[in-house]
Amino acid sequence: MKRLKQHAIWGRRGSFILAATGSAVGLGNIWKFPYIAGENGGAAFVLLYLACVALVGIPIMMAEIMLGRRGRANPITTMNNIRTEAGASWFWTLIGWLGVIAGFLILSYYTVIAGWTLDYFALAVQNKFVGLDGDSSNKLFDALLADRSRLVQSHTSFMAMTALVLMFGVNKGLENVIRWTMPILLLLLLALLGYAYTTGELLTSARFLFSFNVEDLSWNATLIALGHAFFTLSLGMGAIMAYGAYMPSTAAIGKTVIIVALLDVLVAIITSLFVFAFVFATPGIQASQGPGLIFVTLPVAFGSMPAGLFIGSAFFLMVILSAWVSTISLLEPAVAYLNERFDFHRISACLIVAGAAWLLGLGSVLSFNEWSDQELIWGMNFRTSIDFFTANLLLPIGGLLIAIFVGWVMNIEITKHEMQQDSPYLYAVWRFVLRYFAPLAVLVIIVNGVYPVLTVVVAE
Ligand code: PFF
């Protein structure tokens, strides 16, 4: 089996957990989770999401890490190594390709949205939220989206921050960054939760998130929860596989994944707790605000609270750090591929991949203004097409193929060997869920994600 000599191993204990948690915790937890929970009835959605993480997310994440660690290379070479070892067709190498391509495509628009958080951080530290109401906050956000050059600047800065880290490689770049960003993230999270307690609305927020009504459960919310479990755990995109390739063979995959998933869920829940406490403490704004929740609704809350300058700045700093560690993991698979397969120096590999993703991202920038009504495919503009193609197709298809490959194609002895540090009971449950339940559940997401769009297209 072809193993790459230059492939590094995490230098310090705990680095894998920090890096994988860093990849998982991002805009998905802080921007998306609170608003989709708000839109889908709060507690019912939280429960569905927890079930999806436990029953689909964790088993597939374990499989993805196992592949990376066994293959010890970038996702494409990894899949080629493993499918050769399993005597399976070249078709399975597609898992690696899908991952690298999906990561690249998501990176191109993720840095555009992450760029907004740089802008909002700048507004927060200048105390610019004071006196905002719902209307003026909406106008502020619309003005940002309409301003191409501001969007390009922040998109460029975010991409540069991301590429810079990986130019130094995994040990010197990524490991050093996660060593300080993750503890700061945790401190900011706890400080914000502590402040939310002083608003007196933490309990209302907890009730909103945890007091559960059976009537609120819906099929649509289940699908959104399942899709989100995938995105938030960074699954099906090669990121977790690429990180798994640096994991020492003595680490227990099952236990590690459970820790990462728990941390990811905790961040989403703690963030939602304080976000809704801030919202409930501010008269005239609502919890079910949609995607504008953190860019339109929260600034109003920051502008009217006593320590708004610090709390607003701390919040947007937290979003920046979490998005940064996620974009690094989106860039790594393609960089590792160029570096290992074609011997590109890491610096050139970073410049090429980040440069190409930056260029593609310009299309997403324009999708918020000039091109917002320009249809690319099936009634969607440039950015929503990429989002649809990656989130509804590439990621779930990648996840489905991973579950089928590890559950049905890979030699059972090898999977047992890779999981020998975990208990045999955990192994048996994992294998069962991976073979039967996870593929079915993911298939349902794919059909449901694509079907409504196709029926609209056919009807036209
Ligand atoms: N998990 C990240 C989030 O929740 O924001 C997004 C993400 C990062 C997805 C890295 C995929 C990935 F490879």
Residues 307-361: pLDDT tens digits? 999 999 999 999 999 999 999 999 999 999 999 999 999 999 999 999 999 999 9
Q: Enumerate domains of the chain plus CATH numbers.
A: 15-459 (1.20.1740)
Query: 27 CB less than 6 Å from ligand 1?
Result: yes
pTM for this entry: 0.93
* Section 270-292 average pLDDT: 86
Query: 162 CB less than 6 Å from ligand 1?
Result: no
Which of the four pLDDT bands, split at 50, 70 and 90, describes residue 5? very low
What pLDDT, on the 0 to 100 scale, is given for residue 8? 66
Distance 234 CA to ligand 1 centre (A): 4
Atom 8, ligand 1: which residue's CA is nearest? 326
What pLDDT, on the 0 to 100 scale, is given for residue 3? 47
Query: 330 CB less than 6 Å from ligand 1?
Result: yes
Query: Among 25, 35, 185, 234, which residue has the most ligand 1 atoms within 8 Å of its CB, making it the best to mutate?
Result: 234
What pLDDT, on the 0 to 100 scale, is given for residue 151? 97
Query: Among 326, 330, 395, which residue has the most ligand 1 atoms within 8 Å of its CB, making it the best to mutate?
Result: 326
Higher pLDDT, 8 or 247: 247
Query: Counting atoms of ligand 1 from 1, which one is nearest the CA of 323?
Result: 5
Query: 272 CB less than 6 Å from ligand 1?
Result: no
Query: 80 CB less than 6 Å from ligand 1?
Result: no
Higher pLDDT, 9 or 89: 89
* Section 411-440 average pLDDT: 95
Query: Among 32, 232, 353, which residue has the most ligand 1 atoms within 8 Å of its CB, making it the best to mutate?
Result: 232
pLDDT in tens, 149-206: 999 999 999 999 999 999 999 888 999 999 999 999 999 999 999 999 999 999 999 9
Query: Among 329, 387, 402, which residue has the most ligand 1 atoms within 8 Å of its CB, making it the best to mutate?
Result: 329
Query: 390 CB less than 6 Å from ligand 1?
Result: no
Q: Which amino acid is at 33?
A: F
